[in-house]
Amino acid sequence: MAVLTPGNVARPILCARNLWKSFGHIVALRGVNLDVFEGEVVALVGDNGAGKSTLIKILSGVYKPDKGEIYIAGRLFKRLTPAQALKNGITTVYQDLALVDCRDICSNVFLGREPTRAGFLIDKKKMETETASLLKRLKINIPSINVLVSSLSGGQRQALAIARAIHKGGRVMILDEPTAAMGLQETKQVLVLINTLREQGYAVILISHNLQQVFSIADRICVLRHGESVGHFIVRDTSPDEVVKLMTGTQDKSQTIRSGM
């Protein structure tokens, strides 16, 4: 299997090798491999039950694999905890976003990690300064950092959740269906943000059922079917039709694992 890497990158920031996971008699993952490099977007696609959720929960430390290895920046982890994953820059933004609607943007960015002064007073000024700087760096357009989250659009909410993940120290962003149920304009805002993340050197794992969006934003695609990684493609070397055939099992995987893993 040829392993192609982005031109100026020596090694993947995140590498999964031969991951297996079972739940009772159900085998959810069967020897899955995945490489993710800084400054790229890797799309993870497959039908429901293909193993996408199980894989991202292993990478984020929620599940323990039955077998396999995970490397973060070259360091081997036989088992990740959520705290270890976060400490090493692996952050996941799930579909529910985990935002608090009745609090403002600053409070959501710092949720549970509020800075203090004089030992016990919350340093609101520092929160506002850091939040404004973060949103500006990520080119996130929200009129005021003091508005309640309940007033934000779907695209703004997604952007806020991503910004919070970065503020926690994220370098590898796992985004679970980030544009689900969004309109065209909100979807465009999120895709622009994903592109900004790539330009700033972040690694993005994008879980999506929308192949049109995948082909518009991803650099590489990993196809899962029945718990196996059945195809790894550089986007320019494949087509939606070929990916669909792999997802549905109408094309032999031996003909399609031909690009960066």
- Write the pLDDT tens digit of every residue in 97-134: 999 999 999 999 999 898 888 778 989 999 999 999 99
* Gap between the Cα atoms of 96 and 46, Å rounded: 20
Q: For residue 8, is pLDDT > 60?
A: no
Q: For residue 187, is pLDDT > 50?
A: yes
Q: For residue 259, is pLDDT > 80?
A: no
Average pLDDT over residues 238-261: 76
Query: What value does the mean pLDDT of the chain take?
Result: 91
CA angle 188, 163, 174 (to 5 degrees): 75
Beta bridge mates, 221: 43, 233
Query: What count of other Cβ atoms lies within 10 Å of the Cβ of residue 100?
Result: 12
Closest CA to 82 of 44, 50, 56: 56
Q: State residue 250's pLDDT score.
A: 83
Q: For residue 261, is pLDDT > 80?
A: no
Q: State residue 150's pLDDT score.
A: 95
Average pLDDT over residues 24-34: 97
Q: How far is CA 118 from the centre of its chain?
A: 37
* Gap between the Cα atoms of 37 and 64, Å rounded: 23
Residues 186, 37 contacting (CB under 8 angstroms) = no
Q: For residue 152, is pLDDT > 60?
A: yes
Residue 95 burial (10 A CB sphere; 0-12, 13-18, 19+): middle
Find where tokens 């929160």 sit: 127
Q: For residue 10, is pLDDT > 80?
A: no
Q: pLDDT tens-digit profile of 218-248?
A: 999 999 999 999 999 999 999 999 999 999 9
**All domains in the chain, ordered by first residue:** 14-98+150-255 (3.40.50.300)
What is the pTM for the complete model shown?
0.90
Q: State residue 7's pLDDT score.
A: 44
Q: State residue 1's pLDDT score.
A: 26
Model confidence at 190, pLDDT cuts 50, 70, 90, reads very high
Residues 70, 250 contacting (CB under 8 angstroms) = no
Average pLDDT over residues 50-59: 97
Average pLDDT over residues 25-31: 97
Q: State residue 118's pLDDT score.
A: 79
